[in-house]
């Protein structure tokens, strides 16, 4: 089995959809020799920001001299993006070898693993082979019944924030969603959260008490000063200062823009403090170096400065508000926003359109590359309540081309929404910029 065949095999598992629960995962890992019981973990969940916090903390730990595994999802260009050790994606040959082995083992199961279960097992196997000191595991969906929650313990757990998303799986109410996310709190462990909602804080606090875990809300444990977005040569940076009980990092210049990324960076600083207290050798310079070098595709990714071209995977109400806040700051005076939007059918697209409001001057709605995007034209109807100039282009590439044609020098062309649009959108932008 070569890499292309291995990727196609996993892609074919998408037909099994999303199945929350740990029974199948337990069976698969038992057949593999329980690799998850031989590793140390940091478990990261939440609605928005969990990928950013995971990448930031991985950079900090790697800079401090540790061999660090990082498992995130979904990907933009390749499945290899999901499994990283010390900043390097899993090699193609290793990916193919592990897929072949898990495929053989899984044939002994009554029910084949889902795509996410398979990838999670693949991550465990690769991290074992690389003898990582610690692995950061990003939750796929929810927490309690997510495949990553198979891990028996964690150095610490992080839940970034809670908002309504995946309601068909996690429930429609905030307390339901909070309880599902809180499933990653381990007995005798530690929990960090960036959430401020008193209702959610109360749920987390109560569950931590029941499980003998320490609870560290960001408020009261971190001091934050958010500065402006600055232009430094050919790039934009978010200025901020962050201080915890042990660390103080002033005038940080984050490549990841927005006050929400300052919050995410603060969670990484607080996590570093707790790890420091557990004996990990981390200092303020490791924090500065790690945070100032963390860049993730699809998170307010600047493709061009004049005109501004931005890619962002914000696909829910809270994510759109965070992106919108940054765009309002960086779009030149008198410039317009031209938005190319693609959202999956199971997202609250009416709520997303309300979050955007009349901020975009024009919206081009397109279809995400997913079976969950069949009803893509309905997205346009939601936007028409707020924006007079709404277009529809089925192909992502055509939507980007139309967006470019509408964009003038002082404007911003922004591709926002599902991960399932970013691969094609990025490739089309790169082609346009190179021509």
| pLDDT recorded at residue 141 | 87
Give yes or no for residue 372 having a pLDDT over 90.
Answer: no
Q: pLDDT band at residue 233, thresholds of 50, 70 and 90? A: confident
Largest CA-CA distance found in the chain, in angstroms, rounded: 63
| pLDDT recorded at residue 172 | 56
Q: What is the pLDDT of residues 16-48, one digit of tens each?
A: 677 778 999 999 999 999 999 999 999 999 999
Give dist(CA 22, CA 234) in Å, integer. 47
Q: What is the pLDDT of residues 153-192, one digit of tens each?
A: 999 999 999 876 555 555 557 888 899 999 999 999 999 9
The pLDDT of 86-98, averaged and rounded, is 98
Give yes or no for residue 247 having a pLDDT over 90.
Answer: yes
CB 307 within 8 A of CB 412: yes
Q: What is the pLDDT of residues 295-313, one digit of tens each?
A: 999 999 999 999 999 999 9
CB 268 within 8 A of CB 274: no
User: Where in the chain are the domains?
Assistant: 3-292, 301-434
Q: pLDDT band at residue 71, thresholds of 50, 70 and 90? A: very high
What percentage of the chain carries pLDDT values higher than 90?
91
| pLDDT recorded at residue 174 | 84
Task: Enter the DSSP assignment of 78.
Answer: -
Q: pLDDT band at residue 229, thresholds of 50, 70 and 90? A: very high
| pLDDT recorded at residue 162 | 87
Which residue in 21, 51, 39 sits closest to 147, CA to CA? Answer: 21
| pLDDT recorded at residue 170 | 54
Q: What is the pLDDT of residues 254-306, one digit of tens each?
A: 999 999 999 999 999 999 999 999 999 999 999 999 999 999 999 999 999 99
**Long-range contact list for 7-10, CB < 8 A, 24+ apart?**
7/78, 7/79, 7/95, 9/99, 9/103, 10/79, 10/99, 10/115, 10/118, 10/119
| pLDDT recorded at residue 18 | 72
| pLDDT recorded at residue 427 | 95
| pLDDT recorded at residue 164 | 63
Which residue in 348, 340, 347 sits closest to 323, CA to CA? Answer: 340
Give yes or no for residue 5 having a pLDDT over 60.
Answer: yes
Q: What is the pLDDT of residues 196-212, one digit of tens each?
A: 999 999 999 999 999 99
The pLDDT of 394-411, averaged and rounded, is 97
The residue among 167 and 89 whose pLDDT is bigger is 89
For the domain 3-292, what is the CATH code?
Answer: 3.40.1190.10
Superfamily the domain 301-434 falls into: Mur ligase, C-terminal domain (3.90.190.20)
């Amino acid at each position: 089995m070569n890499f292309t065949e291995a990727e196609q095999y996993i892609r074919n598992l998408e037909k099994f959809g999303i199945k929350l629960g740990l029974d199948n995962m337990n069976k698969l890992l038992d057949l593999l020799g329980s690799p998850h019981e031989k590793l140390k973990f940091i478990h990261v969940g939440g609605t928005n920001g969990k990928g950013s916090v995971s990448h930031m903390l991985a950079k900090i730990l790697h800079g401090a001299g540790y061999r660090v595994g990082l498992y995130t999802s979904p990907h933009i260009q390749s499945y290899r993006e999901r499994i990283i050790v010390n900043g390097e994606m899993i090699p193609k040959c290793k990916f193919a070898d592990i897929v072949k082995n898990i495929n053989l083992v899984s044939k002994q199961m009554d029910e084949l693993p889902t795509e996410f279960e398979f990838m999670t097992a693949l991550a465990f196997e690769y991290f074992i082979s690389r003898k990582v000191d610690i692995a950061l595991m990003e939750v796929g969906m929810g927490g309690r019944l997510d495949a990553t929650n198979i891990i028996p313990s964690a150095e610490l757990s992080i839940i970034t924030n809670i908002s309504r998303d995946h309601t068909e799986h996690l429930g429609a109410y905030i307390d339901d969603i909070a309880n599902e996310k809180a499933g990653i709190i381990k007995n005798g462990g530690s929990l960090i959260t960036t959430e401020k909602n008193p209702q959610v804080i109360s749920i987390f606090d109560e569950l931590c008490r029941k499980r003998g875990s320490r609870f560290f809300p960001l408020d009261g444990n971190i001091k934050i000063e958010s500065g402006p977005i600055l232009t430094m040569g050919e790039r934009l940076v978010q200025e901020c200062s962050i201080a915890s009980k042990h660390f103080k990092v002033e005038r940080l210049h984050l490549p990841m823009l927005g006050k929400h990324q300052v919050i995410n960076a603060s969670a990484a600083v607080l996590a570093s403090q707790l790890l420091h207290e557990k004996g990990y050798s981390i200092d303020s310079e490791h924090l500065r170096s790690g945070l100032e070098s963390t860049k993730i595709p699809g998170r307010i990714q600047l493709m061009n400065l004049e005109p501004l071209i931005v890619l962002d995977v914000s696909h829910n109400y809270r994510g759109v508000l965070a992106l919108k806040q940054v765009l309002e700051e960086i779009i030149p005076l008198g410039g317009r926003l031209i938005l190319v939007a693609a959202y999956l059918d199971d997202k609250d697209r009416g709520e997303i359109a309300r979050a955007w409001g009349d901020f975009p001057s024009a919206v081009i709605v397109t279809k995400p590359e997913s079976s969950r995007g069949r009803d893509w034209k309905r997205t346009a109807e939601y936007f028409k309540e707020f924006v007079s100039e709404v277009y529809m282009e089925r192909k992502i590439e055509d939507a980007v081309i139309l967006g470019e044609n509408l964009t003038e020098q002082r404007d911003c062309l922004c591709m926002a929404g599902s991960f399932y649009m970013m691969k094609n959108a990025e490739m089309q932008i790169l082609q346009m910029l190179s021509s």
